[in-house]
A and B are shown apart, each in its own frame.
Chain A
Amino acid sequence: MSYNFRDLLALEPLTADELGFLLDQSKPFQEIQKHPLKKLATLRGKTVALAFFETSTRTRISFGAAASRLGADSMNLQAEASSLKKGETLLDTVFNLNAMKPDCLVMRHAASGAANYVAQHLDIPVVNAGDGTHEHPSQGLLDALTIRNRLGTIKNLNVTILGDILHSRVARSNIHLLGKFGCKFTLCGPAMWVPGELEKIALGTAIRCVYRIEEALEGADVIMMLRVQTERLNDPPLSANDYILLYQLNAERLRRASSKAIVLHPGPMNRGIEITPEVADGPQSCVLEQVTNGVAVRMAILYLLISGATETDTHPALEVKPKESANASD
């Protein structure tokens, strides 16, 4: 098995085999995170361009750390500092970055489909680090890796996603990844954020929308929280008090889930709104593991896209076995 795509724009078009390969390739990089010396020379001399047209802290730093630990250099473009405000088009900005000859472009943009659009015009690999309300592939992969570590499998689980699903790129990437491994989804939140159309966005995946958190949590193996975007709460639809009343994940509600259930949150969390501190810091929470795993997943993505490596290549994070001497047979 190998990863045959030039870019990583979305998880929806990938097969279970391809997704599994990406996860398998991430695992040795997880081990690297535990070493006192975390730096490899795999991508020495390569350059990763990080273009974040929408504010981001952890994803940008995580990709930067991933590049650095692979030995690559990175170039940073942040929207505030860019010429976009001076009226330059997205494509012109990207062409200018590309003229500095990076080996890969990692981009985040507020417009859904922006990474697809850019990738059509570039000859280097493009990694989508979040496009509008479409997908966030590396988040989907790091979530799956976290679940696999904790529960031993990502197959046939009951996954509950809570919050503003309509506007969540994280939810879409998770549905498209875990759905291909037989997971069943329950989506729950205020009705205007959980439209019935969501049940049909991934053919072949069982998705249901419910509007009572108690029902949504019943028997769940994995609970994925989404950040409640306070700017949306302030938009007419809903008061924070109502949200807390109906949808906040607290310890009492969590007891309805499977006793081994785990809780994920892509961050940043609004403690006291969508999740209580008790749950966020409790034993079922995986929040910080997700962040650690994020670096490993992003190392795998950059490594595979830039080097074009396949299954038959020795993984750079595995210790190179001492070679037998050339004249051992003498």
Chain B
Amino acid sequence: MLLIKNGRVVDPATKTDAALDVLLDGEKIKEVGLAGKISAPQNAEVFDASGLIVAPGFIDLHVHLREPGQESSETIETGTRAAARGGFTAVCCMPNTKPVNDNASVTRFILDRAKVAGSVRVWPIGAASVGSKGEAIAEIAAMKKAGIVGVSDDGRPIATARLARQVMDYCRSLDLPVIEHAEDVSLATGAVMREGVTSTRLGLRGMPAAAESVCVARDVQLAELTGARLHIAHLSAKASLEQVRWAKSRGLRVSCEVTPHHFTLIDEDVTYDSRFKMNPPLAAREDREALLAGLADGSVDAIATDHAPHEPALKDVEFDRAPFGILGFETALALALEQLVGSGRLSLMRMVELFTAGPGRVLGMERKIAAGQPADLTIFSTNYAWTYHVKESPSRSRNSPFDGRAFKGAAVATIVGGRVVHRH
């Protein structure tokens, strides 16, 4: 047993913000009680959480663990160790591995590897179409039986409106969310960053915000047509957020996530340094403002990292040639504390919701700190001063634009199923 004492429990699912003790017994929470009122058994370990926040386990809806197939960039072992350091207790890995996770045997492989080598829970996302090629629908029911929690052709959009409609129909019947990488690829051809003054000045090919919002508009209308659960991944544009708001106002089951890099950085930060290259690209100043407003007012449902490791040999090349994507696990919480809470835009409760209950709802599961619930907890400090040195990361890759940045606040302990998988 593990008794977590003297912490400040912040749990949006139960609207709790109070000094409580939490007793864990094996994989479950046994008891939650007023500080000092739980009498722990003799043999219980005690974790003193004085001055720390005790939150439900953080869930990352959008990550790339690169296994199988690209183990030189990341593995389930190294990726989940980095996730644990960042305070995440569960991560949803996208299917664009080699081979693509478009069938139950790949799903089972990932889950088996996670059981053996994973530090945190791994919840796979299955491909929507075979090979994510946008032609035939993948064996979604078999993958669901094996353990996927959603479908996506991430890395690209579901290729056509017709297929997206069919996948949505099918997934509604299977009660799975369809997670969309929204991009009109014809508007983004050859582009390496967001179109604007900066792309024009640097001579880098830009994609307009409409490359994303045109596809979001398509998909929310298909969500209305089908009644499916639609989740927009890594939403970056103001116009896309307006589409999501429209859908929500009509009562559609549409949700969205925003990444820490999109609520922190903008296109003006881009240089020829490929660590600033990701897709969707860093957006305009006004988009970031809109995302911050959406994170505060509830239009955005979750913070997701889009952790996208690429080994140095792939990423350290000319900007045009570098693959899209950056690391995300270890800086997400600190960036959220700095940009959202520290700036006074969001309460701590709302920020925790974006890491816990919000993504939980997208997946159709409730996570809360209550007796009988899984013992997944993220214990963090809001003021611990540290500097992110990417060379110290357990990740196999080094592609972070935040290397060397000083932060306040970090995960102090990550507990998964009653086991402390990260302790700072």
A residues bordering B, Cβ < 8 Å?
Answer: 12, 89-91, 109-114, 116-117, 131-135, 166, 169, 172, 195, 197-198, 200-202
The smallest beta-carbon distance between B79 and chain A, in angstroms, is 25
- Contact (Cβ within 8 A) B203 A112: yes
1/0 per residue, CB under 8 A from A, across B67-83: the answer is: 00000000000000000
- Contact (Cβ within 8 A) A113 B197: no
- Contact (Cβ within 8 A) B318 A201: no
Q: Which of A91, A110, A111, A201 contacts B201 (CB 8 A)?
A: A201
- Contact (Cβ within 8 A) A134 B202: yes
The smallest beta-carbon distance between B185 and chain A, in angstroms, is 16
1/0 per residue, CB under 8 A from A, across B393-407: the answer is: 000000000000000
- Contact (Cβ within 8 A) A90 B200: no
12 A–B contacts, CB within 8 A, in A order: A89-B313, A89-B317, A91-B316, A91-B317, A111-B318, A111-B319, A113-B202, A114-B320, A131-B203, A134-B203, A134-B204, A195-B200
1/0 per residue, CB under 8 A from A, across B166-202: the answer is: 0000000000000000000000000000011101111
Q: How far is the CA of A38 from the CA of B201 in the complex (A)?
A: 38
Cβ-based interface call for B272 (8 A): yes
- Contact (Cβ within 8 A) A197 B321: no
Q: How far is the CA of A326 from the CA of B197 in the complex (A)?
A: 62
Between A109, A113, A166, the greatest number of chain B beta carbons within 10 A of the residue's beta carbon is seen for A113
Q: How far is the CA of A243 from the CA of B318 in the complex (A)?
A: 33
Q: How far is the CA of A201 from the CA of B268 in the complex (A)?
A: 12
Q: Whose C-beta in chain A lies nearest to the C-beta of B318?
A: A111
Q: Which of B196, B197, B200, B318 contacts A117 (CB 8 A)?
A: B318
Query: Given contacts A117-B272, A131-B203, A135-B203, are A111 and B321 in contact (CB under 8 A)?
Result: yes
Q: Which range contains the number of B residues in contact with the other chain?
A: 10 to 19
Query: Given contacts A112-B272, A117-B272, A200-B197, are A90 and B318 in contact (CB under 8 A)?
Result: yes
Residues of A within 8 A of B205 (CB): 133
- Contact (Cβ within 8 A) A169 B317: no
Query: Given contacts A113-B272, A197-B197, A200-B197, are A172 and B203 in contact (CB under 8 A)?
Result: yes
The smallest beta-carbon distance between A220 and chain B, in angstroms, is 23
Query: Given contacts A111-B318, A117-B318, A117-B319, are A132 and B200 in contact (CB under 8 A)?
Result: no
- Contact (Cβ within 8 A) B196 A112: no
Query: Given contacts A89-B317, A90-B318, are A113 and B204 in contact (CB under 8 A)?
Result: yes
- Contact (Cβ within 8 A) A197 B202: no
Query: Given contacts A112-B202, A113-B202, A133-B203, are A201 and B317 in contact (CB under 8 A)?
Result: no
Q: How far is the CA of A110 from the CA of B317 in the complex (A)?
A: 13
Interface residues of B in 199-224 (CB under 8 A from A): 199-205
Residues of A within 8 A of B313 (CB): 89
1/0 per residue, CB under 8 A from A, across B307-328: the answer is: 0000001001111110000000
Q: How far is the CA of A116 from the CA of B204 in the complex (A)?
A: 14
Q: Which of B203, B272, B321 contacts A169 (CB 8 A)?
A: B203
